Structure 1
Amino acid sequence: MRAAAQAYERILTVLPTDAQVLDLYGTALYQLGSAAAGRPYLVASLRQRPLHGPVWNHLGVIDRALHDDNAADIAFRRSALLDPGKMEPLVNLAATAGDRGDPESGLLLNRRSRMASPESSDVALRQGVLLCQAHRPQDAIPFLLAAWRRDPGNGEVALNLSRANTELGHLSAARRPVMAVIALAPGTHEFYGSLATTHDPRLSTDRDILWAKAATVLRPLDAGSWLNLCAECYRDSRIDEAYRAARRTLTLDPTSDMGMRNLSAAALNRFELALARALAQRVLILRPGDADAECVLSEIEFRIGDARKAWALHEARIRREVHRPRLNLPPPWQGPGTETGPVLVATEQGVGDEITFLSCLAEIYDGITRPVVIEVDERLVHLVGRSFPNAAVVPRQLVPGDGRGQYLDYRALAERYGLRHHVLSGSLPYILNRDRDQPLERCGYLQTDLQRVTHWRKWLSGLGEGPKVGVVWRTVQLTRFRARFHCTIDELFPVFHTPGCTFINLMAGDTGAETARVKAATSAELRAPPGLDVWDGLDDLCALMQALDVVVAAWTANCAFAGAVGTPTIRLAQGFMHVSNGREFFFPNVYPVFDRHEAFDGAEAGRRAAAMLVRLISGADRR
């Protein structure tokens, strides 16, 4: 293509006004990555032949690449009028509709192309892309597969097929087309980053990061490749490598707001808080209201600044792209006394966060003058309903058929209960409006099933004398990033050496190898509660926790459950969101092993937890 462009350039020195050569040269410059340089030649060609439809289509393609959707739309429509039998302008018009955020209009435009050229790979590709933009990846897959069969090795098809499969969680299928394109064109750097982002984070290995690094080798001066490498390293918990990649990004593109955000996040994890704060503030100068930057600032304020300011910045999470879209919500609630009708407390994040944030609702519940509807994970409905007896407790309002739970729709709920206001559970601390030196004092707001508590106390008493200590040492979904904040089982051996204790396994999943390792090293046996489903039986799990003397828990939902039922709990991390020191901000019976300004260290966490456990079972720290 470069040789062709050079040939056209030489011809133009002889025939500077030849419309066809001007079109060819401008199009060649665009294909070489210089859309802005190629555009004037197409405009010059159209001055010679203003009624030539294909050139208008080429101009529209260039305008679309330059993100001038209005100009592209005009050019494509003019091309379609001049060449009504051609499908390319219609396909491109459909694409610009998708670019504008109106994929439904694009699908209507693409219907005519599908009727005219049902076997076209371009038409099938466009249909698949528009369906993905309309959040219908399952419907997009057949069209993208058809385009792949008709044009195997097409890079654009491969990328979109990979993205659709990734969206659906079909990660092996997502990798295959991208790997095929890499095999055909190993020097095409864009595909390496796509491949790196399709693996399951729970199964990530050192090999996966090499794909992102390969792109930086192929294009060492491409800021985007270094940006992608930073993101991959960060996700795989290579914080120092992510830090260096982000610095390289900003060296190549000093105005990259994404590079600043990534460097700020890496600096935060390296406890370089002043640098992290300065970078996040700089992003907000470039992009006022940037949600990701405000969330980073909230984390910094939680650690070293003003907690009230941190909770205000925390509200930015609702605007982040990763936040679940919510349809048909009533207006926001401003706090007790402002309600004019029923209030919805909407679900947010995981079950542990829900239980933690609902502790704030327990503080202000009596001041709410209208009915309350609480939305929670289905596994929590009975437990939360028992704890807030006058409230209506409902399961998450997930869109039917959306297996990944990406959207929630409140139309039916609003009509059923006449909802007038809403508040996300994660916004309750902001409404509560307390600083870090004003923690919650209510101990054990969750009301468990007393019959099940009696059942578990009877089972525990049958295990012998001495304190009964529940243990959760890691999350079930332990990614490489999360592993940075969890002890290994070996690091908790000091806890299991505590004399006189009977240890209860509160972990979900297969932990046979780890419990055997504990027994071999410490002689302690981790007892499994008979008949308890730790993952789905959360009501019963909380009843067991209330029957225990102490819980030792990693940064997991189970730590929140233990705190919410009032059991003395040792948290193998800093306090929730780094808000407080010495005791958990939300639960006075939860004791973090680290202060908010301290970095996590697994071995030190095990040693401190063992010392805390001795004090708790002796009654020295009971409150």
Structure 2
Amino acid sequence: MSRNLGSGISAAALATAQEAAGQGVLPGLRASQLGDSASADSIARLNREASAVQDPATIKLLNKAIIAVQRGEYALAEKTALKALKKNERAGPAWHVLAVAREKLGDFASSMHCYDAALKLLPNEAAVAGDLGRLAFRMEMPEIAAKLFMHFLNANPGSLEATNNLACALRDLNQESAAIDILKPAIQANPTQPVLWNTLGTVMCSLGEGRTAVTFFDEVLRLAPQFGKGLHNRAFARLDLGDVEGALADCDAGILVADSSEDLAAMSFARSTILLALGRVTEGWAAYGARLSTELGGVPNYQFPVPVWKKGEDLAGKGLLVVAEQGLGDEVMFANTLPDVAEALGPDGKLSILVERRLVPLFERSYPQANVAVHRTVAYQGHIYRDAPFIEDWSSIDRWVPMGSLLETLRPSVEAFPKRERFLTPDPERVAHWKKVLEDAPPGPKVGLLWKSLKLNAERARLFSPFELWEPVLKTPGVSFINLQYGDCDEEIAYARDQLGVEIWTPPGIDLKQDLDDVAALSCALDLVIGFSNATINLAGACGAPIWMLTGAASWTRLGSDHSPWYPQCRCFIAPDYDDWRPIMADVAGALAEFAK
């Protein structure tokens, strides 16, 4: 398993990771990857690699490049490593130094290719695999990272770095049991290592076992009271248990001891959502600007030729470009402010809106006075950029604003949310079409179901109940269940049919992932939509469909209330924690039985 490792970093895999970037960022758990490609140990390894090169001129350049890395002069290290490669393009150490330099310069995509080249050329490539694995993990490619960490661990049995990093990757692959299996003996042999306890705590959080996770994070902080990631992670475990005040205290303490700009950005973003969860809405929105920090993975650099709108600037008569941001559900939810924006611009103003491609028809119908276009998000040299290639004439646009930045001004409190029937308008002809189609479904009230998100990595998975726990809901008599779940859901539908004797009827002639305008119409043709917070239930709520939303105790989007301010017709079922979804499913089943009478 040596030379073939290089082929694991395919262009397709890299493209997939880049495509996922810019699609939203969650203020989530902070796993601790051990090791640093420019540490003292790494510098010593680079020197050993360089000493094995035969050509004196190349060795001289490599030594100069390594010294530059040691001094933190990464641009010089890059330039010098390129000179060495010009002399000998098969010099593995030169590729390794170039990879380190470009990683430190933030050019992650190119750095990955350089590590890959070094991996193929160096005779002892296990340590390079460790460096490349950390970078793959950072670029949200856990499957590749796990492969590389396993190779590193096989070459270095007992390595805490390899063990910890492999566990982190396995956790992100939803392989929590495997992560626990490698962490337990490592902790038994090294019980005073806080990083191992921290990683185990994140695994427990992913399993929804918040109480156990808090115990492990307590141990982290007993061993290392100033361990910022441990404080940050305990904050999230406390959120899972509904202890929002305790979460804020931990987050504030973590910010004071953050040991990197990336950690500080993540904690600052997390703090804003905790404030919102506490109902401190004005403070929360003021702090919510932290979500735009490019230190957070997946946050784009916005590229527009006009100034950004600042809070307090008058909008009357202006041309404003509102740019949707984060994930698809956020693009829909944050559109709650658009009617107010249109009113503030007035008859002489001009509204332009950038949204994800699938949302364009819906937004065009909802805001016929606006220019609706598609935003483009691209990855280049390890960075994410968002622009507006389909806007050719900028002369009528005075300012641009990320959609979420309007909330501080227009939604400073829960009471400021209007009791508006809808803020997106479904196609009335398609609503009528789907009402007709639904006549072919089993008899009874037509209830749409949503039970998961398309992106169910370890961290998001805990926000959704296992499908088996839907049994009491699905066995509610007299209800016709309609599938609204996008993505691969054949397994769950077969389980409901074969194990529970319940048919979840899938509407014909619709792509539930791509045809979002039609999904909106279908949702409004139903009697009720039930599910966890994902893109579709936000779409249904924005269009005025009756929805029941299942949420966690500290879900920040409720803004400290017991309901959804965004969708006045929404009924929330609130789980006390993520340890056990059975009570909330029993509540939904009871309410549905009443609804179906």
TM-score above 0.5: yes
Query: Relative to 1, partners in 2 of residues 1:213 and 1:325: Cα closer, same or farther, differing over 3 Å?
Result: farther
Matched, 1:182 2:153: yes
Deviation at 1:133, TM superposition (A): 4.1
Matched, 1:606 2:585: yes
Deviation at 1:604, TM superposition (A): 2.2
Query: Relative to 1, partners in 2 of residues 1:532 and 1:273: Cα closer, same or farther, differing over 3 Å?
Result: same
Aligned Cα root-mean-square deviation (Å)? 3.5
Query: Relative to 1, partners in 2 of residues 1:194 and 1:598: Cα closer, same or farther, differing over 3 Å?
Result: closer
Give the one of 257, 274, 285 matched to 1:300.
274
The correspondence of residues 495-510 of structure 1 with structure 2, limited to 5 A, is 495-510=473-488
Query: Relative to 1, partners in 2 of residues 1:464 and 1:348: Cα closer, same or farther, differing over 3 Å?
Result: same
Contact kept? 1:594, 1:600, Cα under 8 Å: no
Matched, 1:353 2:330: yes
Which position in structure 2 is the counterpart of 1:386? 365
Contact kept? 1:336, 1:367, Cα under 8 Å: no
Partners in 2 of 1:474 and 1:86 — Cα distance?
A: 56
The correspondence of residues 572-591 of structure 1 with structure 2, limited to 5 A, is 572-574=550-552, 577-579=557-559, 581-591=561-571
Partners in 2 of 1:424 and 1:476 — Cα distance?
A: 24
Matched, 1:397 2:376: yes
Q: Per the alignment, in what secondary structure is the counterpart of residue 206 of structure 1? A: helix
Unaligned stretches of 5+ residues in structure 2 = 1-37, 44-56
Which position in structure 1 is the counterpart of 2:301? 326
Give the one of 77, 89, 95 matched to 2:63.
89
Give the one of 93, 96, 116 matched to 1:122.
93
Partners in 2 of 1:509 and 1:63 — Cα distance?
A: 45
Partners in 2 of 1:427 and 1:545 — Cα distance?
A: 28
Matched, 1:566 2:541: no
Deviation at 1:443, TM superposition (A): 1.3
Deviations 1:586-607 (A, max 9, x none): 0111110128x77685222222
Deviations 1:88-122 (A, max 9, x none): 4321255258x46xx55542232222234544322
Partners in 1 of 2:66 and 2:372 — Cα distance?
A: 48
The correspondence of residues 397-476 of structure 1 with structure 2, limited to 5 A, is 397-399=376-378, 407-410=384-387, 416-418=393-395, 419-463=397-441, 466-476=444-454
Query: Relative to 1, partners in 2 of residues 1:167 and 1:323: Cα closer, same or farther, differing over 3 Å?
Result: closer
The correspondence of residues 97-136 of structure 1 with structure 2, limited to 5 A, is 99=72, 104-136=75-107
**More displaced stretch, 120-129 vs 490-499:** 490-499
Partners in 1 of 2:173 and 2:258 — Cα distance?
A: 33
Query: Relative to 1, partners in 2 of residues 1:61 and 1:443: Cα closer, same or farther, differing over 3 Å?
Result: closer
Partners in 1 of 2:491 and 2:413 — Cα distance?
A: 44
Contact kept? 1:91, 1:113, Cα under 8 Å: no
Which position in structure 1 is the counterpart of 2:224? 253
Deviation at 1:64, TM superposition (A): 11
Query: Relative to 1, partners in 2 of residues 1:391 and 1:200: Cα closer, same or farther, differing over 3 Å?
Result: farther
Deviation at 1:170, TM superposition (A): 5.2
Contact kept? 1:93, 1:109, Cα under 8 Å: no
Query: Relative to 1, partners in 2 of residues 1:62 and 1:589: Cα closer, same or farther, differing over 3 Å?
Result: closer
Deviation at 1:200, TM superposition (A): 7.3
Deviation at 1:539, TM superposition (A): 1.0
Query: Relative to 1, partners in 2 of residues 1:514 and 1:323: Cα closer, same or farther, differing over 3 Å?
Result: closer
Deviation at 1:210, TM superposition (A): 3.4
Count of residue pairs the alignment pairs up? 537
**More displaced stretch, 141-150 vs 406-415:** 406-415
Contact kept? 1:444, 1:566, Cα under 8 Å: yes
Query: Relative to 1, partners in 2 of residues 1:381 and 1:212: Cα closer, same or farther, differing over 3 Å?
Result: farther
Greater relative contact order structure (CA < 8 Å, 6+ sep): 2
Contact kept? 1:584, 1:591, Cα under 8 Å: yes
Q: Per the alignment, in what secondary structure is the counterpart of residue 447 of structure 2? A: strand
Q: Per the alignment, in what secondary structure is the counterpart of residue 398 of structure 1? A: strand
Unaligned stretches of 5+ residues in structure 1 = 1-59, 66-82, 619-623
Which position in structure 2 is the counterpart of 1:309? 283
Residue type matched to 2:434 in 1? W
Q: Per the alignment, in what secondary structure is the counterpart of residue 457 of structure 1? A: helix
The correspondence of residues 502-581 of structure 1 with structure 2, limited to 5 A, is 502-519=480-497, 523-574=501-552, 577-579=557-559, 581=561
Contact kept? 2:278, 2:559, Cα under 8 Å: no
Contact kept? 2:279, 2:559, Cα under 8 Å: no
Deviations 1:361-396 (A, max 9, x none): 223321125322222221111111221212222223
Matched, 1:366 2:337: no
Contact kept? 1:471, 1:551, Cα under 8 Å: yes
Partners in 1 of 2:141 and 2:487 — Cα distance?
A: 22
Residue type matched to 2:321 in 1? L
Deviation at 1:609, TM superposition (A): 1.9
Residue type matched to 2:403 in 1? S
Query: Relative to 1, partners in 2 of residues 1:428 and 1:114: Cα closer, same or farther, differing over 3 Å?
Result: same
Deviation at 1:217, TM superposition (A): 4.2
Query: Relative to 1, partners in 2 of residues 1:237 and 1:580: Cα closer, same or farther, differing over 3 Å?
Result: closer
The correspondence of residues 1-16 of structure 1 with structure 2, limited to 5 A, is none
Deviations 1:462-490 (A, max 9, x none): 44654221111222333444343323344
Query: Relative to 1, partners in 2 of residues 1:345 and 1:105: Cα closer, same or farther, differing over 3 Å?
Result: farther
Deviation at 1:252, TM superposition (A): 2.5
Deviation at 1:504, TM superposition (A): 0.9
Partners in 1 of 2:145 and 2:508 — Cα distance?
A: 40
Query: Relative to 1, partners in 2 of residues 1:341 and 1:415: Cα closer, same or farther, differing over 3 Å?
Result: farther
Contact kept? 1:125, 1:147, Cα under 8 Å: yes
Q: Per the alignment, in what secondary structure is the counterpart of residue 378 of structure 2? A: coil
Partners in 1 of 2:489 and 2:59 — Cα distance?
A: 65
Query: Relative to 1, partners in 2 of residues 1:573 and 1:533: Cα closer, same or farther, differing over 3 Å?
Result: same
Query: Relative to 1, partners in 2 of residues 1:336 and 1:583: Cα closer, same or farther, differing over 3 Å?
Result: farther
Partners in 2 of 1:614 and 1:446 — Cα distance?
A: 30
Matched, 1:282 2:253: yes
Residue type matched to 1:434 in 2? P
Residue type matched to 1:318 in 2? L
Which position in structure 1 is the counterpart of 2:128? 157
The correspondence of residues 181-220 of structure 1 with structure 2, limited to 5 A, is 181-199=152-170, 201-220=172-191
Which position in structure 1 is the counterpart of 2:215? 244
Partners in 2 of 1:219 and 1:429 — Cα distance?
A: 48
